[in-house]
Amino acid sequence: MTVLHHIVEPGFFGSAPVHRALLVGTIAALVAGPLGVFTVLRGQSFAGEALGDIGTTGGSGAYLVGVGPLWGFLVFNVAAVTVMELIGVQRRRGRDLATGVVLGSGLGLAALFLYLDATHQSTTGTTVTVLFGSLFSVSATTVPIAIGVAAAVLALLLVVGRPLLLACTNAELASARGIPVRLVGYVYLLALSLAVALCALTIGSILSTALLVGPAASALRVSSRPGPAIAAAAVLGVAATWVGVLLAYDSYAWPPHGQGWPLSFFVVSLVLVIYLACGAVSHVARGRRAAPTLVAG
Amino acid sequence: MSIEIEHPDRSAVPPREEVLAVRGVSARLGGRQVLSDIDFSISAGEFTGLIGSNGAGKTTLLRVILGSAARSAGSVLVGGAPRSRRNPLIGYVPQKFALDPDLPLRARDLVSLGIDGQRLGFSLPSTARRRAVQEMLDAVGAAELADARVGELSGGEQQRVLIGHALISRPRLLLLDEPLANLDLRSAGEVVSLVARVAREQRVAVLISAHEINPLLPVMDRVVYLAGGRAVHGRAEDVVRGDVLSRLYGHHVDVLRVHGRVLVVAGVGDERTGTHAASDCDPKTSPPTQSVEVLG
């Protein structure tokens, strides 16, 4: 029992904010991992990062008009991917340019909104909450919205997953099969924008890419099959989130006393640890396989 | 303008079941006339090589047949009907591309995507699907690669898996865009004989583009020779001749046969049509003794 107390600070299992944090964090990770697999394959980590950053605009704007930050993340992210699509994301370079242009203008607005938040409410808490997340202070009304958004993302992914996978394999191969590659890409970006909004709620807007891309990249290192890779990404993300929540709760008992370390720090660090561990695992596994299969074709 | 080479033996050929008919096709790309009045047809089980140097319009022609590039004139019939956007009668392997090593796809997953990868939703694993995939892997000689990540296979192995991916939906026409590019001679030979066998066994009409004619010579039923946006179509021995190719190129060309291989050499003394295209031959894949194509 004393050992458990060293790992889990008293009150962890009985606290309502902890329950909510675990629930919302799990939802976000469950959605981010699978979607992140496609983000990695499409080389769109930058778009994911940009969406996270633009979430800053949405989150700070939401405080300004007095609604929950999730609404701000959602509205601005969906708007951002639509503008990115309109500017032209179908070519890789155009995609980066479109992302950069939208990102720049979005962050300009964020600077204004955060300034207004700080001057109107004379608090710097908003900035920290939006940028780095505040999972323990997620309101009870946000939970059903988060569940609904997550369900929508997973449903979208289930529907377009297969053609999307083929489009990731090779766009020409996909379009020869009659797949509307651009439309599929836009649907994916929409799902991505929703997933990033959920991540922003968990670990903050500027760190949301870590939860999106990290578990997915780790899963791709250890699994060669689409289904298991997607499942592994979800599981690894959930694991990082749970352990992160636990450590963040425990950290209230750490120095400097009574403050609590940022949850996002723990989650992001754990994601990095998982990524490195998966790299080591695949290195060992491949080294073992390489010898018999190394036949030049 | 296309020149159809008639051959006396042609009447002896059994009735042709025409799978692909390209009729008077022209196409422009960026304001440039890439194809002019191309005419040819391919029957079931026939292996046709689409030969031309880089930039001759091979890929454009394949894309026009596929429907992903627009034509400015002419018609394309696949299986006797104008081809639609998604044509299940056509199997296609695009120009050389490397599969991402990060792709979470084993060879058998990619072949399986060939069955219904374009459909929305997902399918549950089934014995019938597993068996179909296994049979196709066997047919393309990729059974031992089945569980390897596609992105980690060699170029020749990837081609075999991609051909399996294209064939598993039982198309009647198989289009392969430069499948031999970047392959060493042995792998190229393996891919060619695989495709030839598949064409014969499954009665698939094959159109395979290449800038090098020699690897295809042993198995090719017919050749579509592209130069300057025009084409000659016929049996290889009727098309790859000095007089025919000279007419196609519009200047004197010599065709030399050395040890069963063909050398196409631009006319002597014509500076404008010198030997620049000799750079098409990758020194790695085509040592000088193997084949040289000097195209004008």
Whether chain B has a CB inside 8 Å of the CB on A175: the answer is: yes
Q: Which residues pair with B256 in a beta bridge?
A: B263
Q: From the CA of B143, how many Å to the nearest CA of chain A?
A: 13
Between helix B155-167 and helix B185-202 the angle, nearest 10°, is: 10
Q: Which residues pair with B173 in a beta bridge?
A: B90, B205
Burial class (CB in 10 A: 0-12, 13-18, 19+), A242: middle
Q: From the CA of A281, how many Å to the nearest CA of chain B?
A: 15
pLDDT band at B279 (very low <50, low <70, confident <90, very high): very low
Per-residue pLDDT for B34 more than 60? yes
User: 78-137 in B: which are within 8 Å (CB) of A?
Assistant: 85-87, 90, 92-95, 97, 99-100, 102-106, 109-110, 113, 116-123
Per-residue pLDDT for B89 more than 90? no
pLDDT at B285: 32
Per-residue pLDDT for B277 more than 50? no
* Degrees, nearest 5: CA angle B107-A47-A216: 40
Whether chain B has a CB inside 8 Å of the CB on A169: the answer is: yes
Per-residue pLDDT for B284 more than 50? no
Nearest to B172 by CA among B129, B202, B196, B208: B202
Which of A41, A163, A179 minimises the CB distance to B100?
A: A41
A295: closest chain B residue by CA: B154
Of A50-59, B188-197, B283-292, the one with minimum mean pLDDT is: B283-292
Chain B CB contacts of A224 below 8 Å: 104-106, 147-149
The answer to whether the CB atoms of B148 and A293 lie below 8 A apart is: yes
- Whole-angstrom distance, CA of residue A275 vs CA of residue A220: 10
pLDDT at B38: 93
pLDDT at B85: 61
- What's the rounded mean pLDDT across residues B152-170? 90
Which of A160, A161, A297 minimises the CB distance to B153?
A: A297
Strand order in the sheet with B81-82: B32-43, B18-29, B73-78, B81-82
Whether chain B has a CB inside 8 Å of the CB on A297: the answer is: yes
A207: Cα separation from own chain's centroid: 8
Mean pLDDT by 10 residues, chain A (297 residues): 67 81 90 93 85 85 84 88 74 72 84 80 67 77 90 92 91 87 89 88 81 94 92 95 90 77 88 93 74 43
pLDDT at A286: 74
The answer to whether the CB atoms of A297 and B156 lie below 8 A apart is: yes
Determine if the peptide bond prior to B101 is cis (ω within 30°): no
Q: With H, G, I as helix, E, B as strand and everything else as coil, classify residue A56.
A: helix
pLDDT at A94: 67
Q: Where are the alpha helices (DSSP H) in chain A?
A: 2-7, 16-41, 45-65, 69-88, 92-121, 125-132, 142-169, 171-176, 181-203, 208-222, 226-250, 263-293
ipTM of the complex: 0.81
User: 229-258 in A: which are within 8 Å (CB) of B?
Assistant: 229-230
- Whole-angstrom distance, CA of residue A112 vs CA of residue A115: 5
Per-residue pLDDT for B173 more than 90? yes
Neighbours of B196 (CB within 10 A): 18
B166: closest chain A residue by CA: A173
Which of A170, A179, A229 minimises the CB distance to B97?
A: A170
Per-residue pLDDT for B288 more than 50? no
- What's the rounded mean pLDDT across residues B231-249? 88
Per-residue pLDDT for B268 more than 80? no
Burial class (CB in 10 A: 0-12, 13-18, 19+), A297: middle
pLDDT tens string B206-218: 999 998 898 898 8
pLDDT at A289: 57
pLDDT at A236: 96
Which of A163, A173, A229 minimises the CB distance to B120?
A: A163
Nearest to A227 by CA among A34, A43, A30: A34
pLDDT tens string B46-85: 999 999 988 888 999 999 998 888 888 999 998 888 876 6
pLDDT at B283: 36
The answer to whether the CB atoms of B121 and A158 lie below 8 A apart is: yes
Chain A CB contacts of B116 below 8 Å: 162
Provide the residue type at A239 as one letter: A
Which of A175, A224, A296 minimises the CB distance to B104?
A: A224
pLDDT at A37: 94
A154: closest chain B residue by CA: B121
Provide the residue type at B239 as one letter: V
Per-residue pLDDT for B292 more than 50? no
The answer to whether the CB atoms of B94 and A170 lie below 8 A apart is: yes
Whether chain B has a CB inside 8 Å of the CB on A228: the answer is: yes
B58: Cα separation from own chain's centroid: 9
